[in-house]
Amino acid sequence: MLGKGAQHRLTVVSGPSGVGKSSVVGELRRLNPDIYFSVSVTTRAPRPGEIEGAHYHFIDRSAFDKMVENGELLEWAEFAGNCYGTPRAPVERALAEGRPAVLEIELQGARQVRKAMPEARLVMLMPPSWEELVGRLTGRGTEEEAAVKARLAEAERELAASGEFDARVVNADVRAAAEQLLNLMIGD
């Protein structure tokens, strides 16, 4: 299923909250199961329904700090008192096996990966319009107005950084966006 003569490198998918990163990456998984999808480590407790090794690798802070100290993470960040990071070894192993690899991470992590693996391709997932993104975030109805405003402010900051990325994919349709992402990964 991999493209003939494809360059197998790391592809980083980033974009603001509400743009549909998880949906597009999920569709990418269905389109091409040969791609390696990184599973992050986190120090937070599992949420109901989350499976160790599928959603995250759940570890304690001491183990996380040791991974950082030993250079075992391609990128990492701390949010709301919990740490999240991308283990380096599985990504490097997949690439060495000739499999393209994908990370779904936020802007700060994408910048760290750019430094750690300059050959990685960074792709910014974009909303069809600002109004559509606002509608997606406010339409959830699961957060207080202040939290939505904070997400929108962060989205503006992230979208302003789109020039740092190698490519941009507009998510007006999940399947079409996943197909465009797949083409960026293995089509050239």
Residues 6+ apart with CB under 8 A from 120: 9, 10, 11, 12, 113, 114
User: Amino acid letter at 47?
Assistant: R
Q: At what angle do helices 21-31 and 174-186 cross, to 10 degrees?
A: 60
Q: Does residue 4 lie in a domain region?
A: no
With 70 as the cut, is the pLDDT of residue 15 above it?
A: yes
The CATH code of the domain that includes 147 is: 3.40.50.300
Q: Does residue 23 lie in a domain region?
A: yes
pLDDT attached to residue 92: 94
Q: Does residue 113 lie in a domain region?
A: yes
Q: Does residue 54 lie in a domain region?
A: yes
* Adjacent-strand bridge partners of 57: 41
> What are the tens digits of pLDDT across the range 108-141?
999 999 999 999 999 999 999 999 999 888 876 6
Query: What does the block give as tokens for 171?
Result: 């998510």
Q: Does residue 5 lie in a domain region?
A: no
Q: Does residue 2 lie in a domain region?
A: no
Average pLDDT over residues 51-68: 95
Q: Does residue 49 lie in a domain region?
A: yes
pLDDT attached to residue 4: 40
Domain count, the chain: 1
Tokens 């494809």 locate to 6
If DSSP codes are grouped into helix, strand and coil, which group holds residue 84? strand
Residues 6+ apart with CB under 8 A from 77: 83, 84, 85, 106, 108, 109
DSSP string of 81-115, one letter each residue: TEEEEEEHHHHHHHHHTT--EEEE--HHHHHHHHH
Range of the domain at 150: 10-186
* CA-CA-CA-CA dihedral for 78, 50, 53, 113, to nearest 10: -30
Q: At what angle do helices 130-139 and 145-160 cross, to 10 degrees?
A: 150
Report the percentage of the chain scoring pLDDT > 90.
78
Which phi and psi angles does 31 have, rounded to 5°? -70, -35
d(CA 84, CA 52): 14
Q: Does residue 3 lie in a domain region?
A: no
With 50 as the cut, is the pLDDT of residue 166 above it?
A: yes
d(CA 182, CA 133): 23
